[in-house]
């Protein structure tokens, strides 16, 4: 969705997870045979439906024999979030580890379709010092995807080949990419969620793209959120919330002392909070979600006419699973290996006596808003599977910020050509 919203038209979409495939189909995607090597329809699709007519190949990407049929389309961008597990040097040494690592498939797609740009999202854990050698290897592979790993070679042996090649000049710049790995916190880009990730952006070197000119800047900050609380603008946005004056008093009592630079505006906007998401931002601007009453929680009832805004019982907090606070960005939405995770899905209620504990589970729709999906985006499956899909997704706004920047950089490069 992010890439589509940035003005790119998907020519091919792949999804492995069964329920996620159902979600894409429910939103208008068209199933496509992985063996079909014909050029996808270049028509404009159906306006108003974000996934309308997306050619969707379900299942394992390794079942797609080739991407070369897309080369004549002069693909602008290849975007994806390949799983890279296990994230340990020990695991990366093993064949079973390689089987679960889909970066080789991304590099195969790059070689076969030769896109102008690549956008890749992955977990921030890849930047930990213990993973640094393997992460650097991934970056070198993206820089030189046409130097393929020899059959039976370890990643270390292939990395040595890549390092040697990097010291030589390339005769064909279209076979090399300029790569920029960017650590990000989604909250700094307008997502109402603390989500630490790494975005890897690459451009084909023969295009002469000036990425630095368009590289997204962090436009939102915690400092600006605190300033907006001190000067009252944050609370004014929520002055229609019942009991907000008492909430404000409690939150302000726990803020750090008034900063000396309260009047200093560094140009950033306030971090968006869980309360902001519920009130409605971006595509959902002005569409406040209705409160979830106790009877809806106990009865698992839908509240209002918003899809997936359903109460859920049993919320609690315990060691290692603290709740979301309404007046901060939400915690990272996680997929959960065994379904809905613990405290990541629990929020502290404005009423400290709500349900006897002061907590309740977030609804699926509230979680979707934290991931910046519009309310008209349908989700398939039971609650746990919907939450898993959201945890596995890239926040729409974060992806869109980077996709729009890539488009602007490509447009500039083509205009100068």
pLDDT tens per residue, range 102-156: 888 999 999 999 999 999 998 887 788 878 888 999 999 999 999 999 999 998 9
* Residues 315 and 209 occupy one common structural domain: no
Q: What single-letter DSSP state applies at residue 151?
A: T
* Residues 104 and 231 occupy one common structural domain: no
Mean pLDDT over all residues of the chain?
Answer: 90
Confidence of residue 194 (pLDDT cuts 50, 70, 90): very high
* Residues 239 and 328 occupy one common structural domain: yes
| CATH number for the domain that contains residue 97 | 3.40.50.150
Q: How far is residue 316's CA from residue 295's CA, in Å, rounded to a whole number? A: 17
Residue 45 pLDDT exceeds 80: no
Confidence of residue 48 (pLDDT cuts 50, 70, 90): low
Q: How far is residue 215's CA from residue 401's CA, in Å, rounded to a whole number? A: 10
What string of DSSP letters covers 108-124? HHHHHH--SEEEEEEEG
The answer to whether the beta carbons of residues 282 and 372 sit under 8 Å apart is yes
Q: Look up residue 254 and give its two tokens.
A: 């726990």
Among residues 250, 252, 270, the alpha carbon closest in space to that of 349 is found at: 250
* Residues 383 and 410 occupy one common structural domain: no
Confidence of residue 95 (pLDDT cuts 50, 70, 90): very low
Question: pLDDT digits over 337-381, tens only?
Answer: 444 455 679 999 999 999 999 999 999 999 999 999 999 999 999
Q: How far is residue 306's CA from residue 308's CA, in Å, rounded to a whole number? A: 6
| CATH number for the domain that contains residue 356 | 3.90.120
Q: Which of 146-155, 208-217, 272-281 has the lowest mean pLDDT?
A: 146-155
The gap from C-alpha 354 to its chain's centroid, in whole angstroms, comes to 32
Percent of the chain with pLDDT over 90: 76
The sign one gets for the Cα dihedral 201, 203, 205, 210 is negative
Mean pLDDT of 287-305: 97
- Residue 360 pairs with which residues in a beta bridge? 347
* Residues 122 and 23 occupy one common structural domain: yes
Q: How far is residue 67's CA from residue 405's CA, in Å, rounded to a whole number? A: 25
* Residues 23 and 64 occupy one common structural domain: yes
Residue 119 has phi, psi (to 5 degrees) of -125, 125
* Residues 207 and 300 occupy one common structural domain: no
Q: What is the largest CA-CA distance in the chain?
A: 70
* Residues 255 and 350 occupy one common structural domain: yes
Residue 186 pLDDT exceeds 90: yes
Cβ density class 246-281: b for 16+ within 10 Å, e for less: ebbeebeeeeeeeeeeeeeeeebebbbbbbbbbbeb
| Residue 120 a catalytic site member | no
pLDDT at residue 257, as a whole number: 79
* Residues 32 and 151 occupy one common structural domain: yes
Among residues 363, 394, 383, 382, the alpha carbon closest in space to that of 274 is found at: 363
Helix 132-143 / helix 103-113 crossing angle, nearest 10 deg: 10
- Predicted TM-score (pTM) of this structure: 0.93
* Residues 170 and 199 occupy one common structural domain: yes
- Residue 123 pairs with which residues in a beta bridge? 197
* Residues 255 and 317 occupy one common structural domain: yes
SS3 at position 195: coil
Number of domains in the chain: 2
Percent of the chain with pLDDT over 70: 90
* Residues 244 and 190 occupy one common structural domain: no
Q: Which of 75-89, 163-177, 270-284, 337-351 has the highest mean pLDDT?
A: 270-284
Of 70, 84, 110, 241, the catalytic one is: 84
Q: How far is residue 279's CA from residue 287's CA, in Å, rounded to a whole number? A: 6
Mean pLDDT of 305-330: 92
Q: Look up residue 407 and give its two tokens.
A: 């488009």
Residue 227 pLDDT exceeds 60: yes
The residue length of the chain stands at: 417
- Domain with 408, as residue range(s), is 2-218+395-416
Q: How far is residue 57's CA from residue 80's CA, in Å, rounded to a whole number? A: 14
Mean pLDDT of 199-227: 96
Q: With the CA atoms of 324, 326, 328 and 332 taken in that order, what torsion angle do they form, in degrees rounded to the nearest 10?
A: 30
Q: Look up residue 278 and give its two tokens.
A: 């519920």
Mean pLDDT of 90-110: 68
State the alpha helices, DSSP H only, in 150-243: 155-166, 211-214, 222-231, 233-237
Q: How far is residue 105's CA from residue 364's CA, in Å, rounded to a whole number? A: 32
pLDDT at residue 84, as a whole number: 54
Confidence of residue 269 (pLDDT cuts 50, 70, 90): very high
The sign one gets for the Cα dihedral 52, 57, 60, 62 is negative
Q: How far is residue 348's CA from residue 317's CA, in Å, rounded to a whole number? A: 9
Residue 86 pLDDT exceeds 90: no
Q: Which of 81-95, 154-168, 208-222, 259-273 has the lowest mean pLDDT?
A: 81-95
Residues 6+ apart with CB under 8 A from 152: none
- Name the helix (H) or strand (E) containing 180: strand 177-185
């Amino acid at each position: 969705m992010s890439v589509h919203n940035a003005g790119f038209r998907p020519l091919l979409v792949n999804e492995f997870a069964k329920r996620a495939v159902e979600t894409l189909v429910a939103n208008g995607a068209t199933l496509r045979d992985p063996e079909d090597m014909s050029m996808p329809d270049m028509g404009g699709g159906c306006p108003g439906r974000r996934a309308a007519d997306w050619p969707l190949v379900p299942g394992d990407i390794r079942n797609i024999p080739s991407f070369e049929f897309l080369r004549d389309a002069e693909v602008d961008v290849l975007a994806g979030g390949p799983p890279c597990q296990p994230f340990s040097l020990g695991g990366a040494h093993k064949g079973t580890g390689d089987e679960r690592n889909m970066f080789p498939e991304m590099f195969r797609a790059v070689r076969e379709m030769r896109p102008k740009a690549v956008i890749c999202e992955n977990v921030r854990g890849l930047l930990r010092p213990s993973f640094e050698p393997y992460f650097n290897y991934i970056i070198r592979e993206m820089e030189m995807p046409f130097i393929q790993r020899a059959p039976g070679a370890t990643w270390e042996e292939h990395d040595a080949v890549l390092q040697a090649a990097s010291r030589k000049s390339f005769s064909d710049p279209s076979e090399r990419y300029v790569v920029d790995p960017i650590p990000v916190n989604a909250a700094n880009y307008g997502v109402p969620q603390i989500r630490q990730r790494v975005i890897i952006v690459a451009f084909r070197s023969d295009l002469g793209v000036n990425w630095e000119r368009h590289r997204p800047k962090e436009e939102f900050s915690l400092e600006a959120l605190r300033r907006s609380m001190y000067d009252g603008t944050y609370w004014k946005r929520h002055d229609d919330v019942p009991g907000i004056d008492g909430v404000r008093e409690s939150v302000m009592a726990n803020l750090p002392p008034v900063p000396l630079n309260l009047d200093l505006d560094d140009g950033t906007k306030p971090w968006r909070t869980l309360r902001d998401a519920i009130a409605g931002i971006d595509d959902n601007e002005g569409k406040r979600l209705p409160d979830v009453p106790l009877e809806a929680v106990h009865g698992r009832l839908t509240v209002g006419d918003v899809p997936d805004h359903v109460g859920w019982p049993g919320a609690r907090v315990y060691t290692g699973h603290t709740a979301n606070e309404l007046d901060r960005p939400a915690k990272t939405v996680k997929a959960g290996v065994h379904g809905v995770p613990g405290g990541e899905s629990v929020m502290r209620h404005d009423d400290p006596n709500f349900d006897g504990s002061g907590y309740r589970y977030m609804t699926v729709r509230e979680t979707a808003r934290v991931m910046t999906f519009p309310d008209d985006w349908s989700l398939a499956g039971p609650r746990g599977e919907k939450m898993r899909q959201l945890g596995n997704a890239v926040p729409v706004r974060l992806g869109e910020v980077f996709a729009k920047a890539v488009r602007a950089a490509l447009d500039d490069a083509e205009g100068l050509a």
